[in-house]
Structure 1
Amino acid sequence: MKEKKKSAVSWILTWAGQKRIAYVWSVLLAIENVIFKILPYFIIADVVKLFLNGEKEFEIYFAKAVLIALSFIIAELLHSLSTALSHKATFAVLANIRKSCCDKLARVPLGYVKDTPSGTFKNIMVERIDSIETTLAHIVPEFTSNLLAPIVILIYFFLTDWRLALWSLVPVIVGFLSYFGMMLDYKPSFERTVQTTKDLNDAAVEYIDGIEVIKAFGKTESSYAKFTKAAMAYADSFISWMKRCSIFHGLMMVVTPYTLLTVLPFGAHYVANGTLAISDFVICIILSLGIVGPLITVGSYTDDLGKIGVIVGEVAGILEQPELERPEKSKCVPKDNSVTLDDVRFGYHDKEILHGVTMELKAGTVNAIVGPSGSGKSTIAKLIASLWDVDSGSIKIGGVDVKELAFADFNRKIAYVAQDNYLFNETVRENIRQGNTDATDEQIIEVTKKSGCYEFIMQLENGFDTVVGGAGGHLSGGERQRISIARAMLKDAPIVILDEATAYTDPENEAILQNSIAKLVAGKTLIVIAHRLSTVKDSDQIFVVNDGNVTAHDTHEELLVSCPLYKEMWNAHISVKDTVKEGE
């Protein structure tokens, strides 16, 4: 049976966690605020009766005025306390939501993250989550209290004169009908604004990220046209919605507040025919003025209530994504640092990429995976690094299926360096320290010397304290790669995966880097994905991958004899190297 999805309220209660009690107190204080706001109406009614009955003692009226003033002061204090509690709780809840999203993204398969534009995640986790602050901080206490106030006033109104109480509701009913007119097609209209907002975010991020290519190839006009189209669609989604609602909104705002339109003429008629006392008529006028204000405040929050379901749905869309299957605590302890792939199958979007891959990588050995572009070798590396889960088959570390290892235990085992490893907008030192947060500055310096990047770091403007920029943009591709390798080496994991990690390095630095890697991974299990075969020819084992299958595996010398594809790749590689040398 299909599992029932959690409602928006259920999600909010989950995120509220221990802050629920703060919301409860906020609502209780808001209710007390309502009591003290309504109290002046009863005092004024008493004042009117005293005045009509001929009471002339100033002290009595002064005492009533003081009570009214105190009621308003206490009401405002209670309101301040209520909103302070709800805001404090709300910002903690928003932090919990964002933390939940970040934690979730760390546990989902990489494919989901890669398939979703970064602008979409940014929009949901920043703007969209932030937009429910009003709903949680204000609506929870204020919506409750503003609904309660007119109910209490209406009860008193009906007890005073039920006829005028009914007549006072006529403008309110017109307002509600106008409101329902505004709500026609609300859901599709709002969803359209959400979609156009996403499209605009994605187009903006794409335009900014690709500005270098756009300028280089003279595609400014066509690329800008895409952004402009998204911006126009975004504007039109709001403007067309506002046009449809403008008449209903105008009618609601003009008619609804004027309860006196019905109370004054009919009240005067009832007084004239002797069925309503003048004192009660004055009281009814005062009460009618207190009905609509809170209802308009409630109405102002309906848009927030309407969109909260959509926003929570977007956040839930992230939080309900299937995760990599891992236990909280490891079920077994790996016996060594070997890696075994047994009949592994994997695909993207229903297209199988790997077709029954089997590999045995012994502990402490150097293993290379080579093959033509698009053969699936990087996919194998990402599966070993648990960036995805296999569709079938298994991957084992030391004889234990990775699905039986907790994330923390698995992460201690693996260091992964990709071709395009990301650097954060921090100093060089702090980017390297992410490999081991407990590392000292001396250890960081030592690992950079061993990984061949100490010299270029010292040539930077501020050495190790140089900020690398967003995604390491202040550094060259080769410099970013060497820092990434130093970071992985500092982690000191027993299994190291280098996924074309030397792709950006020049031949001179590549030789230095290969020698450094050889020293740093001594005694560890090394898995290298490489397109330069000369860098992996001394590997203990070389796996040749073609079209998602392992077609051969052996040493370099043996493969030159037994594997035509490998021999062809090697000859092509040597030919390119010779051509480069001749060009020099």
Structure 2
Amino acid sequence: MKTKNNNKAGVRYLLGLANSKKLILAVAIGFSVLSGLCTFVPFLMIFRTILLLFGEGGAGSAMQNGIIAIVAIVLRFVFQAISAAMTHVNAYNILYHVRRELCRHLGKVNLGFFTGNSTGEIKKIMMEDVERLEMFFAHQIPDIVVAIVVPVAVLVYLFTINVWMSLILLLPIVLTTLTQVIMLVTSKNPMDEFYWLAGKQSAVILQYINGMPVMKTYNLTADSYREYADTISSYNNAWWRAAKILSPPSAIITVIIESGLFFVLPLGGYLYLTGSLALSSYIFFAIMSIVFLSSYINLANFAQIFSQISSGIVRIKEIMDIPAMGNGNKTLLPTESHSLTYENVSFAYDQQEVLHNFSLDLPIDSLTAFVGPSGAGKSTAAQLVPRFWDVSKGAIRIDGIDIRELEADNLMDNMSFVFQEAFMLNDTLYENIAMGKHGCTRQEVEVAAKSAQIHDFIMSLPKGYDTVIGSEGVKLSGGERQRVCIARAILKDAPILIFDEATSFTDIENERKIQLALESLLESKTTVMIAHRLHTIVGADQICVFQSGNLMECGTHHDLVASGGAYASMWQTYCEAMREVAS
């Protein structure tokens, strides 16, 4: 996900993420400021003691100064602890809120977003970029406020002692601020590139790990995987470029902040020799020049840290700015059967149209099979029904109602899905089936598993339905995973079913069990089946043949074979392939 220049994704947007936690943040900042002010109280007491030594203080005030200094030191750490506790708790609450909102929003965008952005990039935004917000809310905001408020308060007091000595202490602040501005400007593009490459690196590493069996099979090392090697090299180069840009100004800022004496001693000496500055004040300013900028030093790291945070916040904002699919206000009863209609439907990925103006009626409780070569558009046509994408032209209707006019949750309540890639939670088999219906009983889960022909297998496992997938050596085959997913769909018992028939990867025994499971699953359902093995859809109510995004022909198996069209040719080729396998 290439980072875009977005001026609105700055401090104001960051503070907006704090949501209802702003009051707690303000209180925490208040305690942080009090802690910072307490830091300078002991030095003020030193000054008062110096005055006492020079005969300028009140009699018997040394003990009082010492007590005040001790109390200030204690209060400093008390206020600091309260502020740290509040900001950290608040920061992690904000992180939870942001991640929850990101997940909620991602659940409302169409799947085109996930096809155009890798899992690694999304993971980096959800984990690393959001995690950096903790640094901002728990440390940056309190430190920045303290770095501004405390020096200003101290300067106000110092001006009451000597104006010229106070003004010279402002010079390091001015020089540091100018250096930081230069750093922010010069590092903007390199840092954006650096963090974009960091996201790409996460993606290619994840891809490399997922493809490890293939890599090992062909004896490919990480260097042989060109995209991986190029990305790692580019990331390394970007890191060095960013370091070369940031190192000089960072060093300059550190030197300026630590060189308060360099500015104070010459001017103070001159003023003392000319009689414009008392010796006690000269000594006090010498001490203050060492510690005055100690709180301001937090701003020295602000440019670099904020560039890290802002690059991530731009990516977070990009996700939050992705338009969510519209949500209607009409509803359907999930306990009733429904018809399905494609009405002059066209669909395009970005600018490339992959489905071209086709219409189709799916009667109540019918089985409609979509067949065709890879890339023909059959899977896309099926995935338009649950609004994984929205049609570019035309409409898809359920009982005559445009699916865009239905409430999103209601649309999902009326549909079940069995995908070719069986999704399984890292949880018990019971939970993997029970996720199909909220609040179901154990008996309902077992009935669904029996209908899906998976109950006997589950009961043969060490802990039955409480067996955690992957634990104790339990691994499910492709056919077993498919039957668990079918049990999940049977349990949900939605009136419309989208089924990606995936028996091509199973053995004969599992295929037979899947076919038996389907008899229970398809009963009284309006079904769209994406077919891979043609013999499994011979009994379908209608078979629709897709080629190059067009609906070429539609009819029963016998009618299509008799017509001698595209399906007849596919059937002949399929039968010949099956005979060759059998021989």
SS, match of residue 503 in structure 2? coil
Q: Distance in 1 between matches of 2:42 and 2:256?
A: 26
Q: Distance in 1 between matches of 2:97 and 2:177?
A: 36
Q: Distance in 1 between matches of 2:390 and 2:7?
A: 25
**Contact in 2 for aligned 1:332/1:404 (Cα 8 Å):** no
2:437 — aligned with what? 436
Q: Bigger shift: 461-470 or 46-55?
A: 461-470
1:11 — aligned with what? 13
**Contact in 1 for aligned 2:136/2:309 (Cα 8 Å):** yes
Q: Distance in 2 between matches of 1:10 and 1:537?
A: 61
Counterparts of 1:16-31 in structure 2, within 5 Å, are: 16-31=18-33
The Cα shift of 1:332 comes to 7.0
The Cα shift of 1:333 comes to 6.7
Say if 2:549 is the partner of 1:548: yes
Say if 2:335 is the partner of 1:330: no
Q: Distance in 1 between matches of 2:220 and 2:233?
A: 20
Residues 43-102 of structure 1: per-residue CA shift (max 9 Å, x gap): 333222222117696x53122111111112112211221221121111111111111111
The Cα shift of 1:495 comes to 0.9
1:132 — aligned with what? 133
The Cα shift of 1:166 comes to 2.5
**Contact in 2 for aligned 1:330/1:406 (Cα 8 Å):** yes
Q: Distance in 2 between matches of 1:541 and 1:247?
A: 72
The Cα shift of 1:497 comes to 1.2
Q: Distance in 1 between matches of 2:179 and 2:430?
A: 62
Unpaired runs of at least 5, structure 1: none
Matched to 1:219, the amino acid is L
SS, match of residue 291 in structure 1? helix
Residues 178-214 of structure 1: per-residue CA shift (max 9 Å, x gap): 4445445210121121122122112201110111112
1:264 — aligned with what? 265
Matched to 1:359, the amino acid is L
Q: Distance in 2 between matches of 1:172 and 1:193?
A: 29
SS, match of residue 437 in structure 2? coil
SS, match of residue 436 in structure 1? coil
Matched to 2:10, the amino acid is A
Counterparts of 1:463-482 in structure 2, within 5 Å, are: 463-469=464-470, 474-482=475-483
Q: Bigger shift: 201-210 or 495-504?
A: 495-504
Q: Distance in 1 between matches of 2:132 and 2:270?
A: 49
The Cα shift of 1:161 comes to 1.2
Q: Distance in 1 between matches of 2:14 and 2:268?
A: 47
**Contact in 2 for aligned 1:341/1:357 (Cα 8 Å):** yes
1:557 — aligned with what? 558
Question: Quick one: structure 1 residues 172 and 71, their matched pair in 2 at CA, closer, same or farther if it must change by over 3 Å?
Answer: same
Q: Distance in 2 between matches of 1:172 and 1:320?
A: 38
Counterparts of 1:109-508 in structure 2, within 5 Å, are: 109-220=110-221, 223-224=224-225, 226-327=227-328, 329-330=329-330, 336-469=337-470, 474-508=475-509
1:107 — aligned with what? 108
Q: Distance in 2 between matches of 1:38 and 1:54?
A: 21
Q: Distance in 2 between matches of 1:218 and 1:279?
A: 77
1:50 — aligned with what? 52
Matched to 1:120, the amino acid is E
Q: Distance in 2 between matches of 1:106 and 1:314?
A: 17
Unpaired runs of at least 5, structure 2: 1-5
The Cα shift of 1:438 comes to 1.7
Matched to 2:547, the amino acid is N
How much is the aligned-residue C-alpha RMSD, in angstroms? 2.5
Question: Quick one: structure 1 residues 29 and 285, their matched pair in 2 at CA, closer, same or farther if it must change by over 3 Å?
Answer: same
Question: Quick one: structure 1 residues 31 and 54, their matched pair in 2 at CA, closer, same or farther if it must change by over 3 Å?
Answer: closer
2:3 — aligned with what? none
**Contact in 2 for aligned 1:332/1:400 (Cα 8 Å):** no
- When normalised by structure 1's length, the TM-score is 0.92
Q: Distance in 1 between matches of 2:26 and 2:180?
A: 30
Residues 471-501 of structure 1: per-residue CA shift (max 9 Å, x gap): x994322222222121122111111111124
Question: Quick one: structure 1 residues 548 and 229, their matched pair in 2 at CA, closer, same or farther if it must change by over 3 Å?
Answer: closer
Q: Bigger shift: 488-497 or 248-257?
A: 248-257
The Cα shift of 1:30 comes to 2.3
The Cα shift of 1:362 comes to 1.1
**Contact in 2 for aligned 1:417/1:501 (Cα 8 Å):** no
Matched to 1:34, the amino acid is G
SS, match of residue 61 in structure 2? helix
Matched to 1:48, the amino acid is I
Aligned residues with identical type, % of pairs: 29
Q: Distance in 2 between matches of 1:101 and 1:517?
A: 36
Q: Distance in 2 between matches of 1:453 and 1:540?
A: 27
- When normalised by structure 2's length, the TM-score is 0.92
Question: Quick one: structure 1 residues 171 and 7, their matched pair in 2 at CA, closer, same or farther if it must change by over 3 Å?
Answer: closer
Q: Distance in 2 between matches of 1:196 and 1:63?
A: 59
**Contact in 2 for aligned 1:415/1:497 (Cα 8 Å):** yes
Q: Bigger shift: 532-541 or 31-40?
A: 31-40
Q: Bigger shift: 489-498 or 168-177?
A: 168-177
Matched to 1:304, the amino acid is I
The Cα shift of 1:158 comes to 2.2
**Contact in 1 for aligned 2:151/2:293 (Cα 8 Å):** yes
Residues 159-181 of structure 1: per-residue CA shift (max 9 Å, x gap): 21112222333444444454445
Question: Quick one: structure 1 residues 255 and 547, their matched pair in 2 at CA, closer, same or farther if it must change by over 3 Å?
Answer: closer
SS, match of residue 314 in structure 1? helix
The Cα shift of 1:566 comes to 1.4
Q: Distance in 2 between matches of 1:442 and 1:19?
A: 45
The Cα shift of 1:243 comes to 2.6
**Contact in 1 for aligned 2:367/2:541 (Cα 8 Å):** yes
Matched to 1:196, the amino acid is L
**Contact in 1 for aligned 2:222/2:229 (Cα 8 Å):** no
Say if 2:502 is the partner of 1:524: no
